[in-house]
Each structure stands twice: as C-alpha cells, then as structure tokens.
Structure 1
C-alpha cells in the first residue's frame, strides 16, 4: 500500500498543505495522514505516530518534502530504521528518493545531512541578527498577546465566573497567562 504523510507547521499554511495533498494523491497514495503541527513538537505529532504504527511490510510511506517528515538527521535515521524494520520503504517526492534502493538510501543520508547543516546555519544567522537588533535597540521581541487580552480575562473570570482553563481555551492563550494576568490585577501597584 502507498501511504502519504503531509504536515504544515501552522494552521495558516493552507496552500502548503493543499499542495502536499495534491502531490501525494498524484503519487498514488491510497491513504493520507495529515496534520498541522511544528516539526519540533514531537509529542503532539499524532498523525506521524499513527502512520508509523500503520505502515507494514511492502508498504511505501510517501512525503512531498524531507522537512515535512523529520526535524533532524538523527530523527530521520530513526524513522527510516523503523520503516525499514517493518519491511517498508520511504519515498520523498521532491528529491526523487526511494529508500527501497541503495542509491536512494545514500542520497537520503547525504541530503539529510546537508538540510540539517543549512538549518543550523540559518538559525545561527538568525541569532546573530537578533543580537545585533537588540544591541541597536531595534528588537523588542514579540508582542505580548495574552496581556493584550487582560480586560477580557478579568471580565470572564471575575464577572462571569469562568474557570481559568476555560478562559484560556476560549481566548487561545495559556492557563499560565490567565493566572499571571489575575495575579497582576490582584497586586497593588
């Protein structure tokens, strides 16, 4: 069976997800697992875990791009080992790589290493840019989204009597943020 896996990092990336699904269908995927979650969030990548449990002997797991599947070379190696341990193979469409062949396995390892190297260089440049912007007084960090909703949090808790967890879910902020806002409001000053 040919099984597909598609992932985007955020729910805002609809076009990217649609393109992946289109490519996976064109590759003949009979079943496609999809999710919208960051690659570094290994705990919540439920569909990846599900597809890894599903894949069995002679199946082919297909992804449109390498970065949609693995977060690092070691993670990629773990996934490939698990896939091959089940007698299945991995196909990466944009690189024309198929781990069912020796050349495919070689190319996967080479390109995986290069991709990780590029990501590390990009992150290093990003850190340098942020440090320079901070030194120049131009970097303020991200806007505090939860505190911008302080009045709504206070209204929901104090006027409507909502529980902190319910307020957090409704406003799409963390419970810790709700408690921080309540604590700030209770502290004179």
Structure 2
C-alpha cells in the first residue's frame, strides 16, 4: 500500500512547494506534480500516470479537492476510477477520505459546492468588469511579460527558447507575443 501525493497549480508562475511540503508531511512516498489547468483532464499527464499505476490499497492524496479538478463530473470520475482500482482518495483540507461510504458523499457535496462557488465568482467578476467598463475605468489585466523586451531580444536575433529564459516565460508565450507584433506591425518594425 502506497500513499501517492498529487500537487497541481494552474500556471507556470504559481508555486507547488506548499502543496509538496504538506504531502511529504502526510507521509507520501511518491509525489507527482504538474503546472496545468484543472479545467479538464486533458494534458494532465502526471495525474494520468498516478491513476494508471494505482494498486489495490493505494491512496491518492491531494491537499484540496480542487487540485484534482475544477469540474464536479471530472472529480467524481477520478474518484470512481480510483475505486475501480480498489484505491482510495484522501483530501487534506478539509480532511475527507473515500475509505468509507460517508467519504464519497462528502466529496460529492464538496465538489458540487466548489463548482457552484466558481460560477458565482466568475459571475461577480464579469459584473464588476461590465460596471467598470461602463464608467470607463476598466483597462484589462496587466501584461505579465514585457512585450517590448521580447521584441528587443528578437531583433537581437535571439531564438524563442533564449527569449523565454531571459524574460521568464514559456516559449509558447514568446510565440504569441511575436505573432501579435507581426499582426500589428510590419516584420521590419520588429
């Protein structure tokens, strides 16, 4: 029987260390982590690896339910798959496990409440943005990456990988910035 920890954050600039420390403190011998959205299971290779290798009696441990997923159906499907492999799921905050019948019920309710809460937050955010736009104060989110710096490095004949390392982002973000600049200006202006 193994305790296998799973840590996840949604973006590359978020930190996994707090989750990993909690999972180690809970005695997880194996911890898999990834930086990918929890909106769906697509692209979550580490979680898929854990599920594939679960044996009867193993326990998948996460710090919070939303680390498994943001959609109630996905979370319930994951819990069901673990159950099919005769493995358990434990959430540390609040502490709930599928080792008993009540654990399944509590996890189902928590998943539904979390999904409903996310919908309310998005709705309030959308309403706030619309109100701010109406009075002319909404300017959108701040750019996290210095687009001018990316353009300068591109003009210095640096490749996308080098630029990504220099400004602290992914290559894909560099490609998007380059594409946006190419669309808004002529290639010679870069």
Q: TM-score range by the shorter chain?
A: 0.7 to 0.9
In 2, the alpha carbon distance for the partners of 1:20 and 1:37 equals 15
Moved over 6 A (4+): none
* Structure 1, 37-46 or 60-69: larger mean CA deviation: 37-46
In 2, the alpha carbon distance for the partners of 1:8 and 1:151 equals 29
* Structure 1, 165-174 or 45-54: larger mean CA deviation: 165-174
**Could you tell me the TM-score, scaled by structure 2's length?**
0.82
Matches within 5 A, 1:12-51: 12-14=13-15, 17-40=16-39, 42-51=41-50
In structure 2, the partner of 1:61 is: 60
* Deviations, residues 94-122 of structure 1 (Å, cap 9, x unaligned): 12211121010011111111111111111
In structure 1, the partner of 2:155 is: 155
In structure 1, the partner of 2:10 is: 9
Matches within 5 A, 1:74-153: 74-143=73-142, 145=145, 147-149=147-149, 151-152=151-152
Following superposition, the deviation at residue 154 of structure 1 comes to 5.1
SS in 2 for 1:95: coil
* Deviations, residues 134-165 of structure 1 (Å, cap 9, x unaligned): 11111111345464346415514xxx3x66x5
* Structure 1, 39-48 or 127-136: larger mean CA deviation: 39-48
In 2, the alpha carbon distance for the partners of 1:61 and 1:19 equals 17
**Could you tell me the TM-score, scaled by structure 1's length?**
0.82
Q: Which runs of 5+ in 1 are unaligned?
A: none
C-alpha RMSD over aligned residues: 2.5
Following superposition, the deviation at residue 42 of structure 1 comes to 3.9
Aligned length: 181
Q: Which runs of 5+ in 2 are unaligned?
A: none
